[in-house]
Amino acid sequence: MARLGILDNFTATHGTRCLREDMFGVEVIFSGKIRNGFVDGLDYDSPVSALRGVLSSMNGAYLDDIIGRATDENIALYILFSLRKWLPHSVRVYEGNSKYVEVSPSDLDFNEYPSYLALSKAKSLLMRERPSDAIEELNQIISMNHDFADAYNLRGRCHKYMDRYDLALLDYMRALIINPDFGEAYRNLGNAYYYLDDNDQTIPVFTKAIELMPNSALAYNNRGFAYQKLEEFELAAQDHTKAIEIDPNYAEAYGDRGDVFMALGMKDLAERDYQKARELADSGNDTYAGIVMY
């Protein structure tokens, strides 16, 4: 067995919080028997031409519009899928001289990838505060796959971002019909009920989300905020504290617990939490800074 590698590179812009331009090296590896100077009879010029075509479409482009979140792994998966006709052994993407990410066909469901790619692009659009564009992308996914729970859940988040809570509610419910154990959809559903002032549903739905995602700081903090609305401040403080235990860099949880302490007349504790929230925000260490979560 022998390996044949194709090397090339491209430069592109990416990022949501701040844009940056990077050069990425790409190596596509083929493995097989050498026959007449080819690996498994592979016409060397064809995959070289195909790779250059893929990289040309990415060169100078904004990657998030092409592949969604522009991680090295997502870049490698996109190239692997694009070259599937030539059955590559693996694809490596380099940033710098030695660091690389490598993916192989076993890392990719080729049938599901188009839906995954479209979902990733829709997430990126929402992150960049373009919910209408994200909904258009998601509508196309759903038209092709009516049982894609993640697409309904994300479309619900887009509707929520646009204050269309009734539509968000319907999409979260559709996601849960498809996948009754979808904890994140329950968390989002709880938020929709919260903003629709349906207090009878909000706490039980957040509790279900916590049952399914016991390590979700977001779910605990959301329920704590719902308890605040009901002026059940002791229960709210417990949930915000649990959120902080799970994720000590969750700035909003400190701010929310500070509000609870202030409501309970514990001014010193409140000021301490407010200070911690400011420190996390100012240092850039807040886990969810700049991320569209709700």
Residue 70 included in any domain: yes
% pLDDT > 90, the chain: 71
47 inside domain: yes
pLDDT at 35: 58
Which are the contacts of 205, defined by CB distance < 8 A and separation ≥ 6? 186, 189, 190, 193
Average pLDDT, the chain: 90
CA 118 – CA 50 distance, rounded (Å): 22
193 domain-assigned: no
- For residue 80 the two structure tokens come to 């692997």
Query: Is 55 a domain residue?
Result: yes
In a domain, 195, yes or no: no
Mean pLDDT of 57-83: 92
| Terminal CA-CA length for the chain | 52
Identify whether 97 is part of a domain: yes
pLDDT band at 292 (very low <50, low <70, confident <90, very high): very low
Pairing status of strand 38-39 against strand 2-14: unpaired
Query: pLDDT (tens digit, 9 = 90+) per residue, 20-56?
Result: 888 999 999 887 655 555 555 556 677 888 889 999 9
Q: Answer yes or no: is 37 within a domain.
A: yes
Helix (H, G, I), strand (E, B) or coil at 247: coil
Compute the average pLDDT of residues 64-79: 91
Q: Per DSSP, what are the bridge partners of residue 4?
A: 30
In a domain, residue 213? The reply is no
Residue 294 confidence (pLDDT): 43
Domain, as residue range, for 24:
2-107
Report the alpha-carbon distance of residue 260 to residue 236 in Å, rounded.
7
What gap in Å lies between CA 142 and CA 128, rounded to an integer? 21
User: pLDDT for 96-154, tens place per residue?
Assistant: 666 899 999 999 999 999 999 999 999 999 988 999 999 999 999 999 899 999 999 99
CB distance 51 to 28 below 8 Å: yes
CATH of the domain at 7: 3.30.479.10
Tokens 């790409």 belong to residue: 26
**% residues pLDDT > 70 (the chain):** 90
Per-residue model confidence (pLDDT) at position 40: 55
Question: Residue 10 — φ and ψ, nearest 5°?
Answer: -155, 160
CB 42 within 8 A of CB 92: no
pLDDT of 17 reads 64
CA 243 to CA 224: how far, in whole Å? 9
Q: How many domains does the chain have?
A: 1
